[in-house]
Amino acid sequence: MRVVTQFLLLLCLVISISSNAQHDTLPRTVTPADSLPVNVNAALRIVNLNPYFTIHADSTLSYNLEINKDEKKYYWFLRNSPVGLRINKDDGMLTFKAEKSFFLSGKLKYDVEYKVNVGVQNLSDPLDRADTFFTIVFYNTDIAVSKVKPTVNSTLTVDEGDTVSFKVQCDNGSFPIENITFFANRPLKNFTLVKKCDDDFTWMPPFDFVKDSDSAKIKVLLLSFVGVNKFQIRDTATVRIIVRDALNYPLAEEDYKLSVKNVNTYILTLKYAFVQLDKSVKSTKSARTGFDITGSTTALTGSILASSANAGTQKVGQVLPGVGISLVPIKEAVAPQKVFDQNQASLVRGSIKRLDYMVRDNALVGERDPDIVKKTAKLKEELKQAQIQLIDVPIDPATNNMTEEQLNQYFSSPRVSKKYRTKK
């Protein structure tokens, strides 16, 4: 019995060894080390998304997006994409041709960040999807040069005494002009300096700008406006001004002095007319005041005598008030009010003040005033207007027996100023 047990154990051991040897002879399937098994339960995601694209104008973009699952079961889509950007719905291939026509037409802009939403969706399961976004920016290396552009032609022709005025504008390109420097081939005076875009340049050629030695009685002035941007890139605009000799200044100065003399002479004539009118108004006022005082005194005396105890005195007192009343029509007949004369005196005085102010306001400035022609014309115009306005005022300078000093003293006296000043 013991021998049978040992035989059975030996038989089992032989069968076990034979079975293991047979199992080792079967072929084995080895999984390559460089491949990963697909996990169907993992979350869907884009494995190679670039969050920021920078594209040069007139270039091409080609970028293939990938996911962590079988792409055959999914499709791709874009939302809020710029013009020209496309994606292949089957394999996620992004393509874009940045044509310059998009930018010239305004459909696309340089240096603007466009946020593009990209998504991938399972064809069978609507809940199996992934949404994200990326940013795309377009840039251009072509530089548009900024230009300085005055608002006048490159050549101007002016006369002495005329005003040259224009605006210096800028046509800004990629980098705007930050400041402007001004140069001239001749020294200038009394001009406005241009420092930045849209500043005005104003200058008046003086009458002595063109010398007798200059040929053809002209002088050429070159103005240069140099604009500079932050990279010190310059652009220069040149304006050529031809100044012509236009005035004989000594003759113009003599004409101005004659005009001032005529105005001053007319002012003295008006002052004498004012004195005559004012004295006439003054004498009439004195006569009327005398009549008023006499009439009031007579009436008051009659009232006092009428209360006397003497009968004769009472009769005289009764007559005197009537006498005082009778003086009123006599006053109007002998010394009527001269309202017209007083109004004329006020008008003459106002004209004198105006002409005197115009002479002082149009005085010459400097040795050669560039506005001498305008000032002479202004004085002549004011003199003519005053003469037309006062054409009905009686002016007889032949009877003037007062000196200029006496006329000025009378006209500027405090009494006259108080009498004719404007009252509220």
Which stretches does DSSP call E strand in 14-161? 52-56, 60-64, 74-79, 86-87, 93-97, 114-122, 129-139, 147-150, 155-159
Residues 407-414, mean pLDDT to the nearest whole number: 68
Mean predicted confidence (pLDDT) in 114-132: 89
Report the distance separating Cα 268 and Cα 257, nearest Å: 17
Question: Distance (Å, rounded) from C-alpha 217 to C-alpha 211?
Answer: 7
Identify the DSSP state of 191.
B
**Choice among 76-80, 221-225, 388-392 with the minimum mean pLDDT:** 388-392
Class of domain 147-246: mainly beta
What are the DSSP calls for 329-373, one per residue?
HHHHHHS---HHHHHHHHHHHHHHHHHHHHHHHT---SSS-TTHH
Cα distance between residue 424 and residue 420, in whole Å: 12
- Summarised one tens digit per residue, pLDDT across range 206-248 is 877 888 788 888 899 999 999 999 888 899 999 999 999 877 7
Residue reference for tokens 């005329």: 162
Question: Where are the extended beta strands (E) located within 89-128?
Answer: 93-97, 114-122
* Cα pseudo-dihedral 81, 83, 89, 95, rounded to 10: -110
DSSP label at 370? Answer: T
Q: Is the pLDDT of residue 37 over 60?
A: no
Higher pLDDT, 249 or 169: 169
Q: Is the pLDDT of residue 396 over 90?
A: no
Contacts of 123 (CB under 8 A, 6+ apart): 73, 74, 75
Asked whether residue 395 carries a pLDDT value surpassing 70, the answer given is no
Residue 165, pLDDT score: 93
Backbone angles phi, psi at 382, to 5 degrees: -65, -40
pLDDT in tens, 349-371: 788 888 888 888 989 887 778 77
Q: Which residues of the chain form CATH 2.60.40.10? A: 52-139, 147-246
* Strand, coil or helix: 76: strand
Residue, of 126 and 326, whose pLDDT is higher: 126
Q: What is the pLDDT of residue 317?
A: 54
Distances in whole angstroms, Cα of residue 36 to Cα of each of 33, 68, 69, 72, 144? 8, 11, 12, 18, 54
pLDDT of residue 238: 94
Tell me the longest C-alpha to C-alpha distance in the chain. Answer: 207
| For residue 108, pLDDT beyond 60 | yes
Q: Two tokens at 296?
A: 């009031």
Which residue has tokens 């020209």? 84
Q: What is the CATH number of domain 52-139?
A: 2.60.40.10
Q: Are 235 and 147 in contact (CB under 8 A)?
A: yes
Q: Flag the least confident range among 60-74, 205-219, 316-330, 408-422.
A: 316-330
Contact (Cβ atoms closer than 8 angstroms) between residue 180 and residue 148: yes
